[in-house]
Amino acid sequence: MITRDEVIAALDRVLDPELHRSIVALGMVGTVEVDGSRVVITIKLTVAGCPLKAEIQRRVSEAVAVLPGVEGVQVGLDTMTDEERAGVRDSIIGGPRKDSPFDADSPTKVILVASGKGGVGKSSVTCNLAVAMAEAGYSVGLLDADVYGYSVPRMMGADRQPVMMDDLIIPVESHGVRLMSIGFMTADDNPVIWRGPMLHKALTSFVTEVFWDDPDVLLVDLPPGTGDVSLSLAGLLPAAHVVVVTTPQLTAQRVARRAAAMADRVELPVVGVIENMSWFIAPDTGARYEVFAGGGGAALAADIGVPLLGQVPLQSDVARAGDEGLPVVAARPDSAAAKELRIIATKVAGAVGLARATG
C-alpha cells in the first residue's frame, strides 16, 4: 500500500509554476489522506483565484498518479491564511528587501536594450533575445520599461494580470521568460499619462517589488530616446550593460548615437550594436534587397568602438509572429531572422560575461 510519506515525497518534487519552489517547502500542501489505492490531497493556493490553479492541480495529480499502488487521485483547493501567505513571502525573499535586487553584487546580468528613435524594432529584438536565451537554458527576466509605448505583453502572448502576494508582485511567465510591464496593469487601449515622478515610482516598483528571483539575465526594453526612464533605470540598475538597436539608415544611426552617448554619460558600458531590418530577401526569387541602405549598424559600432553583434533581415515572419504573441525564434525557428537572432543572443551573453547555461 502507498503511504502518506511516499505521497509527500512525490509532492516535494512538484514546483509552483510561478514561484519555482517545491509546494511542500512553500507550505502549500494541506491535508493528505490515503485510503487504500486512493489519495485525496488539498492544496492551499497563495491567493484566491490563482490563475494557474489548473496547472497546479495537473502537476500534483500527475506526480502522485505514477506512484506504485495508486489508482485514483483527487486534488482539492483551498486558500492560505494571511499569516501563511506572509510566511511564503518572507521565505522566498530570503531577507530584508533591498533598494534594488540588481545592485553591483547581484549575480544577474542586466542588459538595457536602447534605441535613439522608435520604429526600429527594438521591442521585437528584445523579446526574441529573451526567448532565445531562455531556450538556451538561462533563467530570464524581461522588464518592459517602455511605459508609454508598452508592447511586450502582446508580443509575448501574455494577457493576464500578475499575482499580488501582499506587497510582492509575482511576474507573469510566458515562453519561459518572467515578464513585467505596465501593460498588465491597464487596458490595452488606455494611454499612460504620467509625469516624471510617477514614472520613476512605477519603475522603482517594477525593479524592487517584483519577485524576479535572481534570474541569470534581466533584459530591459527601454523607451526610445534618452528621457526620464533611462535616467531612473541607470540609478536602479547600476551594473547594467547597454545594447543599442538601429536600422541601416544613416539618419537612424545618428539618432541612435545619442542613446550610446546617454549610456556613456551615466557610466553604463555599451557592449554592442544590433542592426535590424538590414535587408529583405524576396520569398519567390531569393533576391536580396537592401531596402534601408546605408550601413548604419556598422557605422554606429565603429563610431562608438563596440562590435556589431548582428544584422537581422527584414521579414514579415517577425512582425506576424509578434502579433500572434509568439516571437519568431519560437514561431518560425528556421527563418533567417530567427537564426540570426539566436546568434546575436549568444554574442550578447558572451559580451556581458554570462556563464554558460546549465539549465
Task: Please give the chain's pLDDT, 359 residues, in tens.
Answer: 899 999 999 999 999 999 999 999 999 999 999 999 999 999 999 988 888 999 999 999 999 999 999 999 999 999 999 999 989 988 888 766 667 889 888 999 999 999 878 888 899 999 999 999 999 999 999 999 888 788 899 999 998 888 888 888 999 999 999 999 988 877 666 666 556 677 778 888 889 899 999 999 999 999 886 667 777 888 889 899 999 999 998 878 888 888 888 888 888 999 999 999 988 888 788 788 888 777 889 999 999 999 999 999 988 888 888 888 999 999 999 999 999 999 999 999 999 998 877 65
Q: pLDDT at position 58, please?
A: 97
- Phi and psi at residue 276, in whole multiples of 5°? -105, 155
In this prediction, residue 359 carries a pLDDT of 56
How many helices and strands, by DSSP H and E, does the chain display?
Answer: 12, 14
**Looking at residue 65, what is its pLDDT?**
96
Give SS3 for 356: coil
Alpha carbons 297 and 292: distance in angstroms, whole number: 11
Domain 109-351 matching CATH 3.40.50.300: the answer reads yes
The count of C-alpha atoms lying within 13 angstroms of the C-alpha of 68, restricted to the half-sphere facing its C-beta, is 1
How is residue 27 written as a grid cell? 507550505
- What integer pLDDT is reported at residue 227 of this predicted model? 66
Coil, helix or strand for 303?
Answer: helix
Name 258's Cβ contacts closer than 8 Å, sequence gap at least 6.
Answer: 116, 225, 226
Query: Which residues contact residue 197 at a Cβ distance below 8 angstroms, ignoring those fewer than 6 apart?
Result: none
Do the beta carbons of residue 233 and residue 206 sit within 8 Å?
Answer: no
Distance of CA 301 to the CA centre of its chain: 26
Comparing CA positions, the residue from 234, 212, 244, 240 lying closest to residue 308 is 244
pTM of the model: 0.89
The 3-state secondary structure of 102-128, one letter per residue = CCCCCCCEEEEEECCCCCCCHHHHHHH
Report DSSP state, residue 341: H
In this predicted structure, what is the pLDDT of residue 38? 95
Say how many C-beta atoms besides its own lie within 10 A of residue 145's C-beta.
Answer: 26
The pLDDT of residue 188: 61
Separation CA 245–CA 274 (nearest Å): 5
**Cα–Cα dist 151/209, whole Å:** 21
Torsion of CA 16, 21, 22, 25, to 10 degrees: -120
Instruction: Give me the amino acid identity at 38.
Output: R
In DSSP notation, 160-189 reads SPPEEETTEEEPEEETTEEEEEGGGTS-TT
Provide CATH code, domain 4-93.
Answer: 3.30.300.130
For the chain, which residues make up each domain, given as ranges?
Answer: 4-93, 109-351
Q: d(Cα 74, Cα 17) in Å, to the nearest integer? A: 20
CA distance 285 to 281: 8
DSSP state of 251: H
d(Cα 96, Cα 114) in Å, to the nearest integer? 32
